[in-house]
Structure 1
Amino acid sequence: MKLSKNLILLAAISLGFSCGSSENESPVDSALIVGGWDMESYEYSISTKMTYGEEVFETFNRGVATESDAQVIFSESPNTYSGKGSYVILLTAEVDGESFEEEIKLDNLFQDGTWEISGDKLIVDNSSQPSQEITIAKLNANSLVLKFLEESTVDYPGSTIVSKREGTATYTRN
Structure 2
Amino acid sequence: MKKITFLCFLMISFMFISCDEEEDDTDEVNNPGVEESASIVGAWEPTNLFYEGSQTLEFQGQSIEMDFSAQSVSFDNFVVNIYENNTYDSSGSYTVNMSVESMGQETTEEVTLENFFGTGTWSQDGTTFITTDDETGVSGDVTIEILNETTLKLVRTNYELDLSNAETPEGVPPLIGTSIVDYEMTLTRID
Q: TM-score, normalised by structure 2?
A: 0.77
Following superposition, the deviation at residue 144 of structure 1 comes to 0.2
Measured in 2, the distance between the counterparts of 1:152 and 1:86 equals: 24
SS for the counterpart of 1:147 is strand
Measured in 2, the distance between the counterparts of 1:56 and 1:108 equals: 32
Residue 5 to residue 161, structure 1, CA distance change in 2 (3 Å): closer
Residue 73 to residue 30, structure 1, CA distance change in 2 (3 Å): farther
Residue 182 of structure 2 corresponds to 166
Residue 9 of structure 2 corresponds to 9
The range that moved more, 146-155 or 42-51, is 146-155
After TM superposition, the structure 1 = structure 2 runs for residues 76-155 of structure 1, keeping only pairs within 5 Å, are 76=84, 78-129=85-136, 130-149=138-157, 150-151=159-160
Among candidates 41, 61, 67, match of residue 74 of structure 2: 67
Following superposition, the deviation at residue 5 of structure 1 comes to 2.4
CA contact (8 A) 2:67 2:100 kept: yes
Unaligned runs of at least 5 residues, structure 2: 165-175
Among candidates 21, 24, 27, match of residue 27 of structure 2: 24
Unaligned runs of at least 5 residues, structure 1: none
Measured in 2, the distance between the counterparts of 1:148 and 1:73 equals: 20
SS for the counterpart of 2:14 is helix
| 1:13-36 residue CA offsets vs partner (Å, 9 max, x unmatched) | 223556763211137648611111
CA contact (8 A) 1:50 1:56 kept: yes
Q: TM-score, normalised by structure 1?
A: 0.84
CA contact (8 A) 1:15 1:165 kept: no
Measured in 1, the distance between the counterparts of 2:123 and 2:148 equals: 17
| Count of aligned positions | 168
When you count strand as a share of all residues, which structure comes out higher?
A: 1
Residue 10 to residue 164, structure 1, CA distance change in 2 (3 Å): same
Measured in 2, the distance between the counterparts of 1:98 and 1:107 equals: 28
Residue 67 to residue 104, structure 1, CA distance change in 2 (3 Å): same
Residue 35 of structure 1 corresponds to 42
Residue 101 to residue 95, structure 1, CA distance change in 2 (3 Å): same
Residue 58 to residue 30, structure 1, CA distance change in 2 (3 Å): farther
Identity of matched residues, %: 28
Residue 15 to residue 96, structure 1, CA distance change in 2 (3 Å): farther
Measured in 2, the distance between the counterparts of 1:151 and 1:67 equals: 27
Following superposition, the deviation at residue 142 of structure 1 comes to 0.6
The range that moved more, 131-140 or 43-52, is 43-52
